[in-house]
Amino acid sequence: GLIFGISEWREPHLRLAHRMEGTEIFLPLAISFYTFQIMAYGIDIYRGTYATRHRFREVVLFKAFFPQLIAGPIMRSHELLPQIKALGEGHGPTATRDWMHKGLWLVIIGLFKKVVLTAVLLSYVAPLFGSRETNPAEFHPTAVWLGVFGCLLMLYTDFSAYTDLARGFGFLLGFEIPVNFKAPFFMVSISDYWRRWHLTFSRWIRDYVYIPLGGSRVAEWHVYMNYIITFFLAGLWHGASYPYVVWGTMVGIILALENFSFKRWLPEWPQHWPLRIVRLLITWFLFLTSSLFFFAPTLDWALSALGQMFHFAALSGNDSLRQLGSIEGLVGGGLGVLLFHMLDEKPGWFVWLRRYEKWLLPLAAVVLVIVISQFAGQ
């Protein structure tokens, strides 16, 4: 996967410098996800994780399990292979009634996130992030901050929708696929964010990159270097381009500084709510500024947008709320994200709805079809 990514990174420079034709390498769909699954299985075999080898057909099904093949979650062999083995032995999988209900709800939620919320948020951020030809310097600083925030919401609705659909179809088929998101925007620190966001990826880089580098069992300075190296490689995994590399390196540095500061200077912050608010503001400031590089088409574009975010002289200029899409799109998308975060964070608050599930489930399906048809018409 890294070879394909680096070829994509180098290809524009090759063609400009040498006018070479035919240097294009087509990137296979979802190569990063199934490459990680294959690597994890190979490493587990090398480490002797399994006492016995698996059958060829079991391994093939594990590597080509269609519900999560394209966009994750990145399943580990110990999560899926036992379920596949049970299938081969004739006592699984079985989709219970409870799993059928869970699966249908997840499919409905996933489609709503993907078709409705993502489309609404995309229309909001498109004026700024829709083209690499856009000049960020023409936008109000507040518009750039709101644009990055809108992109983060959109990334969540789009990416978590794939996970919901994968888990939903998995439950309908009798397979349990792990949770991949746990209300990430309810984070209290960047470290906490990575305990909530893309969990299967976070666990993968922890187990196969961070811990082999020494993890937290080495000298303190070495631990901080491990953070930086791990997330530098995470940036390369997302895409071998300068903005992704800068994003990954920034995240690694932020995690190292966060770990250092809260160990040395701020150990008692969580006990004082005014300081918790300050900590949260600092966290979101670092989160938004680093995330800008994740969404930027080029490094020059990102640096221009970053400078505009702090161009305070422009604060009295154009109306920031009119430079992007309709602010109602950001508010509506944000409320949708808040609702699904509450479902993840406080599931007990919604238990009472189960008594009405017999008519809520078909009603939600009908409403979803109507809403999707309206969006398709637009």
Which of the residues are catalytic?
Answer: 238
C-alpha 121/C-alpha 118 separation (Å) is: 5
Task: Please give the structure tokens belonging to residue 94.
Answer: 């079985």
Reference 62, options 99, 32, 37, 25; nearest CA is 37
Residue 326: Cβ within 10 Å count: 13
d(CA 114, CA 156): 10
Extract the tokens encoding 60: 């093939």
> By CB neighbour count within 10 A (0-12 exposed, 13-18 middle, 19+ buried), where does 207 fall?
middle
Query: What's the angle, vertex CA 125, arms to CA 29 and CA 317, rounded to 5?
Result: 150
DSSP state of 72: -
DSSP 3-state of 210: helix
Q: Please provide the size of the chain in residues.
A: 378
